[in-house]
């Protein structure tokens, strides 16, 4: 009885295995199609990252699609910086310039990108690139 069961099991196994293999090959193909379909539209790419499909093309994409500092400012930053909500350096005054003189551009940019007290990271513009944030800061500085 035991022997028979083992034989039957191994026969079933061999059959099952080949079925399973065809099925899993099919499933893998399906999975790839699904992953391809649901993958994010954009991907974040660090300069020098080899998985980026070429740093040059990434750089080209980010410059060609970049919005102007004025656009970013008007759409994203003016909500607080036009009136100086919560102590935000007010647009059209020298308040941002004074901060620049005091802290330097590197600190201003790092605060604009990472957030600083009531200043939210990227001024809530989560899809703004570092370059776009910098352009917006320059716009606020009147440049």
Residues in touch with ligand HEC (CB under 6 A): 72, 76-77, 79-81, 85-89, 99, 103, 107-108, 111-112, 116-120, 122-125, 128, 133, 136-137
CA distances in angstroms from 106 to 62, 84, 111, 134, 139, listed in the order given: 21, 22, 9, 10, 16
* Closest to ligand HEC by CB, 33 or 79: 79
For residue 76, give every residue at least 6 positions away whose Cβ sits within 8 Å of its Cβ, in sequence order, or none: 122, 123, 124, 125, 128, 136
Q: Residue 120, class by beta-carbon neighbours within 10 Å (0-12 exposed, 13-18 middle, 19+ buried)?
A: middle
In the bound complex, what is the minimum distance in angstroms from residue 95's beta carbon to ligand HEC?
Answer: 9
Q: Which is nearer to ligand HEC, 55 or 62 (CB)?
A: 62
**In this complex, which beta carbon is closest to ligand HEC, that of residue 133 or of residue 142?**
133
Degrees, nearest 5: CA angle 88-67-42: 105
Q: Which is nearer to ligand HEC, 93 or 107 (CB)?
A: 107
Q: How far is the CB of 94 from ligand HEC (least distance, A)?
A: 13
Which is nearer to ligand HEC, 55 or 66 (by Cβ)?
66
> How far is the CA of 37 from the CAs of 24, 29, 33, 46, 58, in angstroms?
19, 12, 6, 24, 21
To the nearest whole angstrom, how small is the minimum distance from the Cβ of residue 73 to ligand HEC? 6
| Least separation in angstroms between CB 131 and ligand HEC | 12
The residue number whose beta carbon is nearest to ligand HEC equals 123
């Amino acid at each position: 009885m035991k022997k028979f069961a083992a034989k039957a099991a191994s026969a079933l196994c061999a059959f099952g295995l080949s079925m399973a293999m065809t099925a899993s090959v099919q499933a893998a193909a399906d999975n790839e199609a699904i992953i391809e379909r649901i993958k994010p539209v954009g991907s974040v790419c660090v300069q020098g990252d080899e998985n980026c499909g070429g740093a040059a093309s990434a750089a080209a994409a980010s410059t060609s699609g970049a919005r102007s500092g004025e656009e970013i400012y008007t759409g994203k930053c003016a909500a607080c910086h036009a009136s100086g909500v919560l102590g935000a350096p007010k647009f059209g005054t020298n308040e941002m310039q004074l901060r620049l003189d005091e802290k330097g551009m590197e600190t201003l940019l790092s605060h604009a990108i990472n957030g600083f007290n009531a200043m939210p990271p990227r001024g809530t513009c989560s899809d703004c690139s570092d370059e776009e944030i910098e352009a917006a800061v320059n716009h606020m500085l009147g440049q």
